[in-house]
Structure 1
Amino acid sequence: MKEEVDQWFQLNMVSNSTSTATTTLHHCERWLPPENGVIKCNVHANWRNPYLHSGVAWIAKDHNGNVTHHARDAIVHAPNRFIAELRCIIFAMTSLSDLRISRVIISSDYTEVIEAIKCPLQWPRHRGLLQQVLRLKEKFQVITFDSEKVTANGVARDIARSVLRDGRFQSYLAMGGPSWLHDRIAREQH
């Protein structure tokens, strides 16, 4: 019972850090750059069913649309897309923190996950994963969570899809964007 009480207080505690966590909804059909000094990280989980791997990926770009990093991984034991997407966001946040990126926008086309991060108490079933997001938020100076249209999140979706489609189960993090999406990334810059 004490553990439950401690978890409740942790979820309801107002942070004293300089971290900012907000959620805004964007309804633009194409990728929009962040403000100068902020990295925008698009994420996506390619989930098919609870018995197979899911592909997760993220791609980070600066205010000019230049790709700073991207990553992909295969995860198991994701009973639904919601959990796969939350785990993808945790993967991206952990990586960005490890890279010492402190000002970031996390963007997903899965609106319900963004809303769960915004109001975790309304999603008690996913408390454990949402607590991980809450703890990771503290590692950032500024962090914002945005919902985007599927068309604005296309590159992250393609990278995540490649995990299952091409059997690329090896996790990696790389500077720049994937060479096979170079032309598409360049088109998004304009």
Structure 2
Amino acid sequence: MGDMERWCPPSTGTVKCNIHVNWGSAALISGGAWIARDHTGNVLFHGRDAFTPSPNRMIAELRGILWVMQSARDLHFHSICIASDHRDTAEALLSPASWPWFRCLLEQIMALCNSFFSVAFEVEKVGANSIVRDIAKSVMRDGRLQSYLALGGPAWLHSRIIREATRQD
């Protein structure tokens, strides 16, 4: 795996929240997951949820971003970086006026930005977002519909989290 596919830590004082929403169709639930890590790669929290059906992937992704931001606010994070591997989401967050169909959700996200000292949005490579992708996929694949927020990372992904934090292959 090349450096561009590796998870990269945030700057000191910022919490990086990787997110993925597993959307399949307008008729199905979506699985969402996020993982919050500090500049050393230490996992602070992770969460998983099942979302009611969304008409398209973009709406599912934006609902996921709202969920992460509300959680980060409630956990009293001050500086956050939200990393998603869905490029359109990042583009919409960086230029909301270009995405008028999603104005309502984008306005809610922008309003939540005022809850933080700083908020950054970035596009993450799929390979660098694989841990959170696997958690999100478990919602629909394994029928894990129970929402939760937990300290640390999930035990079944512990060795991968440690490898990413220490940047070993």
TM-score > 0.5 by shorter chain: yes
Pairwise CA RMSD = 0.9
In 1, Cα distance between the equivalents of 2:98 and 2:57? 18
SS of residue in 2 equivalent to 1:41: strand
> Which residue does 1:183 correspond to in 2?
159
Aligned twin of 2:78: 102
Match of 1:132 in 2: 108
Correspondences of 1:150-161 after superposition (within 5 Å): 150-161=126-137
Secondary structure of the equivalent of 2:10? Answer: coil
Show structure 1 runs of 4+ deviating over 6 A. none
Structure 2 unmatched ranges of 5 or more? none
Q: CA deviation at 1:41?
A: 0.4
Aligned-pair CA distance for 1:82: 1.1
Q: Note the C-alpha offset of 1:77.
A: 2.4
**Secondary structure of the structure 1 residue equivalent to 2:101:** helix
Counterpart code for 1:95: S
* Count of residue pairs the alignment pairs up: 164
Give the equivalent residue in structure 2 for 1:76: 52
* Among 74, 89, 97, the residue aligned to 2:65: 89
The match for 1:172 is 148
Q: Which structure: larger Rg? A: 1
Bigger mean CA deviation after superposition, 40-49 or 77-86: 77-86
Q: Percent identity?
A: 52
* Alignment deviations for residues 129-174 of structure 1 (CA, whole Å, 9 cap, x no partner): 1011011101010110000110011111011001111111111111
The amino acid across from 2:132 in the alignment is A
Unaligned regions of 5+ residues in structure 1, if any? 1-26
What's the TM-score once normalised by structure 1's chain length? 0.85
Question: Which whole-Å CA distance do the structure 2 matches of 1:122 and 1:97 have between them?
Answer: 27
SS at match of 2:119: strand
Corresponding letter in the other structure for 1:189: A
**CA deviation string 1:48-98 (max 9, x = no partner):** 111111001100000010100000100012111111111111100000000
Q: SS state of the match for residue 69, structure 1?
A: strand
Deviations 1:15-41, CA, capped at 9 Å, x for gaps? xxxxxxxxxxxx921100011111100
Equivalent residue, structure 2, for 1:39: 15
Matched residue, 1:18: none
How high is the TM-score relative to the length of structure 2? 0.95
